Amino acid sequence: MSIVLEQLGYCYPDTTQGVHALSLEVAPGELLAVIGASGCGKSTMLRLVAGLLPVQAGRVLIDGQDVGAVPAWHRKVGMVFQSYALFPHLDVLGNVAYGLRMQGMDRVNRERAAQRMIQAVGLGGLEGRRPSQLSGGQQQRVALARALAFRPSVLLLDEPLAALDAHLRSQLCDEVRDVQRASGAATLFVTHDQQEALMLGDRVAVLHEGYLQQVDTPRALYARPANLTVARFVGHANLLKATVIDSGRVATALGVLAAETGRRSKGAAVHLMVRPEACRPDPDRCAANRIEGVPGRVRFLGATCRWDFVASAAAEALAASPGATPRSTTTLLCEGPVVATSAVSLAPEELVVLDDHNAGSWRSPPPQS
């Protein structure tokens, strides 16, 4: 079963908040992670697909059928909320079997189906426990098993791991992915955690103020953001104001740098995106885009370090005025196990030139089948 959103629109009363002309497609078995700042429309989109909000514009199609007029309880959609929403008076078996009971399945078959899902999420032997007797991770598994027990066509996950500590969240990411893949359900996974989205998603969509900014594979989204909004939101990035001075060359506060400029005309105002890991420490003197300077603050992160590199012009200003703060355009955020001592280089193929404005609406390519 697939999910297709066609120019979907919804606005909350007396506001412009909601989603606007949203078009997306989720293939059978695909997990599409959706990220964006608070209030960007992520949860609104899920509620429209689930039937918890009425569609005001556009269409929601599940397996090709327009479900705009179909009540939520007839959509065969499984949903896992951040709070899990387990019934405190029911044990694990009763919670997982609840949806099957509502569908009218007889007791023997629904308990058999519920037992299968309980085993699938690794809770065998805990069937008789109440939610209050379970850990947060176990409650999350129960909620996931309940959502999948009646074999939904569509699975909607609304920040299901947000209430867990970081270590448990990382562990459960793999488990959620394994169970989702086995189910074959087209899945929308909403999260505020970018790392979670990049790790779990077959593709990742970015929403901003109700509009879709980009949808792509995690690697492509990170390496080649479609616009400044995505570049600022996804991961860490140095964004340098720049001007195209020739094909393949831009002028920045760090000097003239080599970068792919595409068809942009000479004099075009752009931004140059430099990911921290693209900064190579202490390169050869003949290296492209070599910038001299001194290291600044170093942040130890375990297997790697994140550190500031102050370009020569800023370093001279600091020497002349002790205690001064260099402009952000002359300080690069870098990342890697080795901290530069006197220079860094920026590999031209890893630099991304972005227009100063977001050029039109993003048109989502179809998912890979």
DSSP string, 176-229: HHHHHHHHT-EEEEE-S-HHHHHHH-SEEEEEETTEEEEEE-HHHHHHS-SSHH
Is the distance from CB of 326 to CB of 314 less than 8 angstroms? yes
Q: What is the pLDDT of residue 363?
A: 53
Q: What is the pLDDT of residue 75?
A: 84
pLDDT digit string (tens) for 59-110?
Answer: 999 999 999 999 988 888 888 877 778 899 999 999 999 888 887 888 899 8
One domain, residues 336 and 269: yes
On whether residue 364 sits in a domain, the answer given is no
Provide the greatest CA pair distance for the chain.
Answer: 82
CB atoms within 10 A of CB 155: 26
pLDDT digit string (tens) for 176-187?
Answer: 788 788 888 899
Poorest-pLDDT segment among 34-43, 143-152, 174-183, 352-361: 352-361
Q: Out of 187, 212, 229, pick the residue that ends a domain.
A: 229
CA dihedral sign of residues 229, 234, 239, 243: negative
One domain, residues 76 and 221: yes
On whether residue 366 sits in a domain, the answer given is no
Quick one: what percent of the chain has pLDDT higher than 70? 91
On whether residue 365 sits in a domain, the answer given is no
Q: Out of 212, 229, 246, pick the residue that ends a domain.
A: 229
On whether residue 12 sits in a domain, the answer given is yes
Is the distance from CB of 245 to CB of 256 less than 8 angstroms? yes
Rounded Cα distance between 37 and 18, Å, is: 13
For residues 14 and 312, the model is more confident at: 14
One domain, residues 339 and 258: yes
One domain, residues 35 and 118: yes
One domain, residues 56 and 99: yes
Rounded Cα distance between 135 and 114, Å, is: 20
Long-range Cβ contacts of 264-268 (<8 Å, 24+ apart): 264/353, 264/355, 267/243, 268/243, 268/244, 268/355
364 confidence band (pLDDT: 50, 70, 90): low
One domain, residues 222 and 243: no
One domain, residues 255 and 298: yes
Pull the structure tokens for residue 318.
């600091």
Q: What is the pLDDT of residue 123?
A: 86
Q: Determine the average pLDDT of the residues in 159-173.
A: 72
What is the chain's percent helix, strand, coil content, to nearest 5? 30, 30, 40
In a 10 Å sphere around its CB, with 0-12 CB exposed, 13-18 middle and 19+ buried, how is residue 286 labelled? exposed
Q: What is the pLDDT of residue 122?
A: 82
| Domains: count for the chain | 2
Q: Determine the average pLDDT of the residues in 242-270.
A: 94
Task: Supply the pTM of this predicted model.
Answer: 0.84
- Closest listed residue to residue 351, CA positions, set 285, 271, 236, 292: 271
One domain, residues 68 and 110: yes
One domain, residues 222 and 274: no
On whether residue 360 sits in a domain, the answer given is no
On whether residue 113 sits in a domain, the answer given is yes
In the block, residue with structure tokens 């959609």: 77
Q: Out of 208, 229, 250, pick the residue that ends a domain.
A: 229
One domain, residues 180 and 31: yes
On whether residue 362 sits in a domain, the answer given is no
One domain, residues 209 and 157: yes
One domain, residues 10 and 54: yes
On whether residue 363 sits in a domain, the answer given is no
Q: What is the CATH number of the domain that holds 139?
A: 3.40.50.300
Domain that holds residue 183: 3-229
